Every structure is written in C-alpha cells, then in structure tokens.
Chains A and B, each alone.
Chain A
C-alpha cells in the first residue's frame, strides 16, 4: 500500500527533447506528490509538487500531470538540457508524514 512505482529506470534524451518519467501509487491516502532532482553527491532537491485536486501543474520547463482515477502521475521536462542530467525521484505523502519514494530515474540529456 505504501509503494510508489517509478519508470523508466534510466532515460536518454537528446538536447531539446521531452523527458517523461512516470509514477504510480496504490495508497489513496496519499495527497501530496513531489518530484525531487538529485545530482551526484548532493541531497534531493524539490523540483515541483502537486496535490490531487488539480490535473496539471507547470513551472517553467517542468510539468506534472496527475491522473487521480488511474493513481498515476508523471513529470515532463520540456526542452531538456544537458544540465538536467540527474536522478529524478517521485514521492508521495499522506497520513504518515514520511515521504514514500519511487526507485528513481537516471536521466541523461545528450548535447
């Protein structure tokens, strides 16, 4: 019930392309869904987050799409840049205050 499933495990995108990472959850008590970006040797940094009362949230080149009925959400990175190369984690929170993380996606944007 606490698991968040993330795919793909790794992703290679050309500069300027769209990166898409998907997550799915089972626990309907989750009501906050953040995405974190992590560079090697650094802690995760909040990128963007969404609540289930909206279906989409956009901040600059980053968009979260949320499908409550399917219990799925995804991160879209538009105009991907080499500087976006990092590991991305989806997460979920609700009830218990601890974040439940997906397994991570290593994104590589080729110049």
Chain B
C-alpha cells in the first residue's frame, strides 16, 4: 500500500498569508494526486487533481505542484473561508489512500 504523509499537521496563519502544505508518497505515484478541503459537518471538496489541475469553480489562489513522491499545495492570499482541514490523496493504485490531514487555523 502507498502511504501518504502530510506536513505540517497544523499551521496557524492570518488572512492574506501564503500557506504551503507538503505531501510525500511512500513510492512513485507520478502525478496521480489530489487535494481536498474539508470543513466540519460538510462534504469534502476537491480542489486540485492530477497534481496541478484546478477543479472547476475553485479559486486560482489554490495551486498544486510536484511529481513522483513530493507534492505541495499552496494557498496564496489566504481568505477567511479557507480555514479548514486539507487532505492529499493518491490515485495511482488501490487501495486509494489519503494523507493524515493538515489543519489550517487562524493565528
């Protein structure tokens, strides 16, 4: 199974900041990676798929990069609605696996 490791587990930030979250895969997944935003009591929302493709309707302040085993999600100009938990997910092979999550909190 492919293990996905996210860091940091939490980050404190202010509106307007840039936030970077890292995800490492235990083996090469080329670019088969997605990022999700999850708020309590709501359905998760896909932000980025195939490492860097922005899902329709997602603001352009979200961006993704990487390949192989190292990936990043960057949020530029953090907005109040961006405080949430973010997960990476590998889609290279079954079982599909998620990272442990990164909580973006208000400083």
- Does B bind A? no
